[in-house]
Amino acid sequence: MIAQALTRRRERRVLPGFGLSLGVSLTFVSLVLLLPLTSLVGQLSQLSWSQYWFLITDPRLLASYTVTLLAAAVAALFNAVFGLLMAWVLVRYEFPGKRLVDALMDLPFALPTAVAGITLATLYSSNGWIGRLLEPLGISVSYTWIGIALAMAFTSIPFVVRTVQPVLEDLPAEVDEAAMTLGASDGLAFRRVILPYLWPALVTGTGLAFVRSLGEFGAVIFIAGGKPYETEITSLMIFVKLQEYDYAGASAVASIVLATSLALLLAINLWQGRFIKRLHGGRG
């Protein structure tokens, strides 16, 4: 049916290269993306429902879900606030070193996660530069969920900043001015006028940061320490099962992680689509 549709439309195509680019893209997507993912389905199909259920509800695993979700949520919320602040400061104010700070925002994407992982672990260990200062206060970051959240927050910093920044840049001065001529204070104008403009970008960025944090591995494992029932994240559980050659167990857990991420990604896209439609004249 698709092939039919394709031939039907062919005469309307002006530009060359449709067949070639379709061929290359489909081959690549099938071989690199889809084929490996089907192998996961294949592995899982060898399990019965009860086996599957047993594997994914292992208490140690359940504890890892909790710690991963909690830490990722904290990291995403931190980044929502921090990202909004950074986007605002970088767009609205001039200060020395601004371009350097702007460039630094991308560091977590450019820096390999393993490097971030060992660095954070070293900084926050009890004799590290920061850990040493926190220890007398009774705060330990290493080997706790706080450390996990910190590592997750670090690796997902750019998401919120980089989604909010362009929207804030494009916000016309009239929006500020209209709010001020109507007597609104700074706080009120930000909350009721500017924030709603940024809202779609902020939610999208925070959502992406959350998804990324759920799957984060390299940055987290060093600072987490991997104490069963306490600081084991779900990605680490997959890794541990693989090292024990428990492919079925690893696949079962992976299917949960994969489904969650894809569902979240889909939800973000759908939500974004609906929101944008409303602002551009769709019925409220």
Q: Say if CB 224 and CB 231 are below 8 A apart.
A: yes
Contact 185, 48 (CB under 8 A): no
Q: Which of 64, 113, 142, 156 binds another protein (CB under 8 A)?
A: 113
| Rounded Cα distance, 42 and 134, in Å | 48
Q: Which of residues 36-95 bind another protein (CB under 8 A)?
A: 36-37, 39-40, 42-43, 82, 85-86, 88-89, 92-95
Residues 126-185 that bind another protein (CB under 8 A): 129-130, 153-154, 157, 172-185
d(CA 170, CA 147): 36
Per the document, the length of the chain is 284
Residue 262 in the binding site for another protein (CB under 8 A):
yes
Alpha helices in the chain (DSSP H): 2-10, 18-28, 35-45, 49-56, 59-92, 98-104, 107-110, 113-124, 131-134, 145-155, 157-170, 173-181, 186-189, 195-215, 218-224, 234-243, 247-279
Please name the amino acid found at residue 139: I
Span near another protein by CB under 8 A; candidates 59-67, 139-147, 206-214, 224-232: 206-214
Contacts (CB under 8 A) with another protein, residues 208-227: 211-212, 214-218, 222
CB of 52 to another protein, least distance (A): 16
Separation of alpha carbons 79 and 63, rounded Å: 24
Residues 3-32 that bind another protein (CB under 8 A): 5-6, 9, 13-18, 20-22, 24-25, 28-29, 32
If binding is defined by CB under 8 A, does position 272 make contact with another protein? no
Say whether residue 270 binds another protein (CB under 8 A).
no
Number of chain residues interacting with another protein (CB under 8 A)? 121
Establish if 115 lies at the interface with another protein (CB under 8 A).
Answer: yes
Task: Give the nearest distance from C-beta 144 to another protein in angstroms.
Answer: 18
Q: How far is the CB of 136 from another protein (least distance, A)?
A: 18
68, 234 Cβ separation under 8 angstroms: yes
Taking CB under 8 A as the criterion, which residues in 183-202 touch another protein? 183-186, 188-190, 192-194, 196-197, 199
